[in-house]
Structure 1
């Protein structure tokens, strides 16, 4: 194994792998490595989601402008990339339903945001309940937002393909390899792997997802922030429900200030249907089972009680929401009932098989508030990406290009060129779109 690299990326999720993709096209002579502790890229959150390519109607154009812009351009980029590599991509749309007058007001706000974020009239339409009934007769709602510029895919296959492309440009992927320590030594980063091997790098990129905050803390970055983890669970619908609707159905979230979304009716790219996800509090970014959560319970609680998260976990509304999510995990009926509000034909007794759970990690600041947006932190010879959540997979390609361009412009990591052809795109043209004011 090579010992010395120009840049090391910690995290082989869809973002870390996308960053390696662009870096490897722009820096043919530099040694780049991606370190991933799982046995394959996109093994955790990047491959354990609904597979949706989200249109940016949910995102405030003032507070989440970059994220919304990345999601908007991500749709076209994933479509182009899927054609190039013959990967699954289905433009199937989504319907967001309002069940009361309060929800209708939210849909009106979403429609306004959508147009500010670049969607055109042909991409999105607000309908009343009689109009939506003609399109989707099984839906019960007061109003609905039909979003046509929305799609479905399999992000695991996309990330694996990006890894292959990056490898062809010389990137080293160290899978099944955990970073156990990273520290500066003689002007370089010494990165310890699996508590024994050591590699050295000039520059370090932290794209470790659920462990990004821990890695940042270990090198003295973002010590005022902490993370909390939520397990999103799914139930698979039997095949008899596969044609219940033509489109995935989301409902307006009741508590938008918290990362708890009511379960959706999801149609995946292969045509199968699921209910999910919920958001069950867990104590580890890998807290899929009881044993892992018991192991991490004490250290995580001590960390949270000693940080701004203390204010959140003692908030009565947060506690009530957390208990509701735990109930939805323990009771299949509780989760199904949420979807029955807008799809009354679903019978909980016919849903018997669980889907794949994924874990979302959210950042809480020193004031006890959830950070609403991604956090990007520069250091002298490192860069840290925290709180990269939904629609992270949708916007991963343009967002990764933005990060690489930022590193180049700030002088943290100089690229050999910013005008290279990166697969079907010219890098400079991606940047022009993503950073358009």
Structure 2
């Protein structure tokens, strides 16, 4: 049995980023990260679009934390990628409007982007004739060209962070599933894989798709529940690799729900994909029928006994969910959404599926989806809930924010916050975050 000063549950990009900063600032403390998969970033963190998102999609009031972290994340990932020779490409993104209603949304996004820190040369609203000169294959009424947007490989980034953290003494417990958490003699006793026990003075819950379950297990956040959505991709053939210069997104029709129309994605290696959709599933690991069937009854009972009941019986939610299920069952239905703005694509030429990922969204007791991250302080634990897109983009600055918050609140005091953390002075990161 091992005793640690702090244990982080979750080896995704956020949990690993938190361990990175803690490891530099707490050289004499024992830190551990628990991850049930065989490697870090095995689930959501390594199964996404791989975009370093510019903060134009995020309401500066409702998603202030996400927007601020995303703004600073771009420069931090750029610097980190140079040091570790990791793939990074500033390639921009284009958001297209297909009607007058969509143009109004682009105007709002332009305003949000500037409020969130983007400069004049970072983002530009274009008429369809202007965008046609740059991207002749795009069909739209107007477009927002966001130049400060990039592509990355977040699985590689997370593995590099783990390596740095391990070199500073952090223990990574892989292939270790948390099966029980309880208090014993003032410490947390955590059971792994049903048999091994570890103890910790302080617990950080950064478990992503299982964060709500971990919180509920220790009596926290009982007014919230989560719903899971599987994002699927289709790989485009090589002949489409030069169809556009940059990734293309379309304006979401129902932004209050976690349903985004599939995008045209150009990954950091130059390959192209269509996706993701957002198919409702019953587990944070619901990649297949077996897992979903196993979790169907317990998840439905949980949702029916919570605020999620109001959401799942909402007619618009049901209609949107059915559309997503149809896009999962029919390749043509999914490709057709992208053909609205890239009509040259032929669904018959797209035959190979990409890697699906699952993201989890939080529903409150009123049956509404929470838009921003939820941070909960407890006496000897800290819980990060609803940390979704653009979570990977903002993981480094957000992790620094969390470590500083724990220090300032006295929940887990670092030995020093004036230290060097890789290429950054920790207090310089905090100063930038507080300025914005």
> If the length of structure 2 is used for normalisation, what is the TM-score?
1.00
Give the corresponding residue for 2:340. Answer: 341
For residues 391 and 217 of structure 2, the distance between their equivalents in structure 1, rounded to whole angstroms, comes to 24
**How do 1:95-244 and structure 2 match up within 5 A?**
95-244=94-243
Q: How many aligned residue pairs are there?
A: 436
1:434, CA displacement in angstroms?
1.2
Which deviates more from structure 2 when the two are superposed, residues 180-189 or residues 44-53?
180-189
8 Å contact kept, 1:74–1:394:
yes
Give the corresponding residue for 1:436. Answer: 435
For residues 279 and 188 of structure 2, the distance between their equivalents in structure 1, rounded to whole angstroms, comes to 36
For residues 215 and 204 of structure 1, the distance between their equivalents in structure 2, rounded to whole angstroms, comes to 11
For residues 391 and 66 of structure 1, the distance between their equivalents in structure 2, rounded to whole angstroms, comes to 10
For residues 153 and 337 of structure 1, the distance between their equivalents in structure 2, rounded to whole angstroms, comes to 27
8 Å contact kept, 1:182–1:192:
yes
For residues 112 and 225 of structure 1, the distance between their equivalents in structure 2, rounded to whole angstroms, comes to 32
For residues 359 and 79 of structure 1, the distance between their equivalents in structure 2, rounded to whole angstroms, comes to 26
1:328, CA displacement in angstroms?
0.2
Deviation sequence 1:159-199 (CA, Å, 0-9, x none)? 00000000000000000000111111111000111110101
For residues 401 and 230 of structure 2, the distance between their equivalents in structure 1, rounded to whole angstroms, comes to 29
Deviation sequence 1:307-351 (CA, Å, 0-9, x none)? 000000000000000000000000000000000000000000000
8 Å contact kept, 2:65–2:372:
no
Three-state SS of the structure 1 residue aligned to 2:316 is helix
For residues 274 and 67 of structure 2, the distance between their equivalents in structure 1, rounded to whole angstroms, comes to 25
8 Å contact kept, 1:70–1:395:
yes
Three-state SS of the structure 1 residue aligned to 2:95 is strand
Give the corresponding residue for 1:391. Answer: 390
Give the corresponding residue for 1:252. Answer: 251
1:242, CA displacement in angstroms?
0.3
Give the corresponding residue for 1:317. Answer: 316
Structure 2: any 5+ residue segments left out of the alignment? none
Give the corresponding residue for 2:416. Answer: 417
For residues 240 and 248 of structure 2, the distance between their equivalents in structure 1, rounded to whole angstroms, comes to 14
Correspondence 1:60 to 2:23: no
Three-state SS of the structure 2 residue aligned to 1:435 is helix
For residues 53 and 309 of structure 1, the distance between their equivalents in structure 2, rounded to whole angstroms, comes to 31
RMSD: 0.5
Three-state SS of the structure 2 residue aligned to 1:119 is coil
Three-state SS of the structure 1 residue aligned to 2:15 is helix
Three-state SS of the structure 1 residue aligned to 2:94 is strand
Deviation sequence 1:92-119 (CA, Å, 0-9, x none)? 0000000000000000000001111110
**How do 1:355-394 and structure 2 match up within 5 A?**
355-394=354-393
Give the corresponding residue for 1:301. Answer: 300
8 Å contact kept, 1:66–1:434:
no
For residues 215 and 422 of structure 1, the distance between their equivalents in structure 2, rounded to whole angstroms, comes to 29
For residues 340 and 231 of structure 1, the distance between their equivalents in structure 2, rounded to whole angstroms, comes to 22
Deviation sequence 1:117-148 (CA, Å, 0-9, x none)? 11001100000000000000000000000000
